Structure 1
Amino acid sequence: MADLFFYGTLCHVPLLELVLGRSADRLDLRPARLEGHGVYWAQGEAFPTIRAEDGSVAVGLVALGLGEEDVARLMFYEGGFNYDLAPFEVTLGDGSRMVARMFQPREGRWPVGSPWDLAAWENTWAPVNLRAAAEIMAWYGRLSPEQMAVRFGPIQRRASSQVLATGRAADPDHDPTRDVVVAEHRRAYLNFFAVDEMDLQYRRHDGRMSDVLNRAALMVGEASVVLPYDPRLDAVLLVEQFRAPVFMVGDPNPWVWEPVAGLVDAGETPEQCAHREAMEEAGVKLSALHPAGKVYSSTGSSSEFLNLYIGMCDLSHVPSGGGGLVSEGEDLRSRLFGFDELIAGVDAEQFRDMPLVTTALWLARHRERLRGSASGA
């Protein structure tokens, strides 16, 4: 049996329950503190780190009498992030002392930020982390902690997009809690993207429940798409890049012209993502964003949700050469298209990227207004 001290996100009992796979009423949890240690936000991250520090006290929980399976599940959840289980003497709420093990980050692994605030984390990050943990723990026993660690970023992005999805307007004519029944939910594939599979029933328009259907979805996340537009030049900037899915289907031309686009990181707004991607992919600084739609890219196969924008900018001095992040395998080239050339390309079915066609048509409807606003500035 093992006794473990938690000082960070695992002090949030619903998260601890999810990781351990059992209810808190079957756990012996007690308030505890570790003297001589301070807890801080890991710089730029949504979790804490701990360090030895005279005069500081780390406040947390001790879980008593954990079994081998409990520790193995915790090691899977935490083990890929360079944590070591080390013994420390902690003080319980009644003043008694005991030795408990703690997940201790290796020295220098996480630079510290401001003092850790569990309540602030719960208000901002707990819903995202709970969804991320559900996906992570579904792969317990199938992947190693190290394999899971390299997938953590995409998992967080997907979890964030799921939280955002639950906040969208409900359908007054349908109630998913009543009108959809899930018989089984399987996590079929996990890498940069994921594939989820369900056996489910839904309520038909005649009021009857459907047969049990097997359906799968590519779980992507939320993305921002921005078409950079210079109203004075009356031109847009497009980027061209190799797209593996287009190649995989057998298309002889897998290099595709597109607007600037990228996945929204957890904790980032779609607007922030649009500005970031415009700089990363094209070296363009946007002066304003005009929303051009919020849509699912392919409701029959993918969970991807697109935030579409027209990005106002000055394209008179666009950096030459390619763009994108080498670390993400991107190799982009950019080119200016005059508005007439853009629309002619849409009409001739030259462009094959749906967000490009959508934002181009939105621009066609609002171009005169945008040009007028720019000339009056």
Structure 2
Amino acid sequence: MSDLFFYGTLRHLPLLERVLGRPLQDISVQSAVLPDHAVHAVKGQDFPMILPLSGDSAHGVFVQDLSSEDLARLAFYEGAFDYDLTPVTVDLHDGNKREAKVFFPAPGSWKPDGQWSLQGWADRVGDITALAAEEEMAYFGRIEPEVMAGNIRAIQTRAWAKILADKRRTGDPRDTNKDVIVHRHDRAYVNYFGMEEVDLQHRQHDGSMGPVLHRGSLMQGSAVSVLPYDPARDTVLVVEQFRPPAFLINDPEPWLWEAVAGMIDPGEEPEQAAHREAMEEAGVKFDRLEYAGGAYSSSGSSTGFMYLYVGLGDLTHTTNTGGLDTEGEDIRSQILPFDAFIDMADRHVFKDVQLVALAYWLARHRDRLRV
């Protein structure tokens, strides 16, 4: 059995519970301090790092009697962040000193960036990180920590999408706690996207429980799609980029015209994502956004939910170099008169469903927006 000292995100007990895979009442936790050390934020990251600093103290928790299984789970979780266990002596709140091990960052892995606040972190992304850990730890013993490291951002995006989904209530009186029975739920695959499988029953329209269904779903985060519109000039901006899925299905024209679109980052509101993506993909700023609704893009096979907007602003320039190099994006934009744009929609030139939906929403609301 081993004792560990946690100074960072694992002080957040809901996260620790998910990483260890057992309830908090089974875990011995007490406050502790590591003398002559300080906890710093990591530049460009949400998690912290610890560094020796004479006269300072790192506050945290002392967790006793961790099993070899616990240590393996912790090594898997922390290993994705390039941290290693190091022995230290900590001061407990009762005045006693105890030997413990601490996850220290590998030398040169991260750059410190000021003080780090557990409460500030918890307020921003605590719920997201704890929920993401459920998916991460489902692959413990199945993939290497280095592989998991490449999936963490996408997993956190999906965790945030689950939190956003819980807010999408329309008044349906049915209760999934009573009207859905889950017999099996497996996380089958992860490689940026996730694939989950479930055996379940749901209440049918006649009030009875239906048969057990065996279903799989492509797990995705939430996204935004925003159509830039200039009401003064009555013009629309569309973007074009190569789409591998269209190529893989043998579409001979996999360069698709689309509205500006992108994933909603963890902790980001849909409106913030709409403004950010417009600048990244097309260099466009909006005076305001009009919400055009939201919907699942393919509810029978994917969790992807799209928030739709029309962004109002001046459209005066296009680009052939839009997007982020880090994401392999190669985007060009084009400004179209509204009449030409809606004619292209009517002639089925556009193959992107979000662009088609936004085209007809704009057609319905265009007179109001031009006043």
Instruction: State which drifts further: 153-162 or 359-368.
Output: 359-368
Letter of the 1:317 partner, please give it: H
The separation in 1 between residues aligned to 2:149 and 2:25, in whole angstroms, is 30
Q: Percentage identity across aligned positions?
A: 50
Match of 1:375 in 2: none
Match of 1:287 in 2: 287
Contact 2:225 2:262 in 1 (8 A): yes
Give the corresponding residue for 1:354.
Answer: 353
Which whole-Å CA distance do the structure 2 matches of 1:368 and 1:124 have between them? 40
Please list every run of at least 4 consecutive aligned residues from structure 1 whose deviation after the TM superposition is greater than 6 angstroms: none
- What does 1:1-377 correspond to in 2, within 5 Å? 1-169=1-169, 171-318=171-318, 320-372=319-371
Match of 2:196, SS? Answer: strand
Give the counterpart letter for 1:356 in structure 2.
Answer: L
| Aligned-partner Cα distance in 1 for 2:343–2:106 | 58
| Pairwise CA distance, 1:49 | 2.2
User: Structure 1, unaligned stretches of length 5 or more?
Assistant: 373-377
- 1:83 deviation in Å? 1.0
What displacement does 1:41 show?
3.3
Post-superposition offset of 1:80: 1.8
Distance across 1 between alignment mates of 2:35 and 2:290: 52
Report the Cα distance in structure 2 between the residues aligned to 1:316 and 1:39, rounded to whole angstroms.
48
Q: RMSD of the TM alignment (CA)?
A: 1.6
Q: C-alpha distance in 1, partners of 2:65/2:103?
A: 16
Secondary structure at 2:110 match in 1: coil
Give, in angstroms, the shift of residue 44 of structure 1. 4.0
Deviates more, 1:153-162 or 1:298-307: 298-307
Separation in 2 of the partners of 1:108 and 1:197?
40
- Tell me by how many angstroms 1:23 deviates: 2.3
Deviation of the 1:170 alpha carbon = 5.7
Give the TM-score normalised by the residue count of structure 2.
0.95
CA deviation after TM superposition for structure 1 residue 152, in Å: 0.6
State TM-score, norm by structure 1: 0.94
- Structure 2 residues not aligned, in runs of 5+: none
1:243-300 deviation digits (Å, cap 9, x = unpaired): 1111222222211100110001002111111111111111222222111112211211
Match for 1:134: what amino acid? E
CA contact (8 A) 2:125 2:266 kept: no
Q: CA offset at residue 158 of structure 1?
A: 0.5
User: Bigger shift: 35-44 or 61-70?
Assistant: 35-44
Deviation readout 1:328-364 (Å, 9 max, x if unpaired): 1211121112111111111111111111011111111
Structure 2 distance, partners of 1:170, 1:143, is: 39
Q: Is the 8 A contact 2:285 2:313 kept in 1?
A: yes
**Rounded Cα–Cα distance in structure 2 between residues aligned with 1:103 and 1:4:** 9
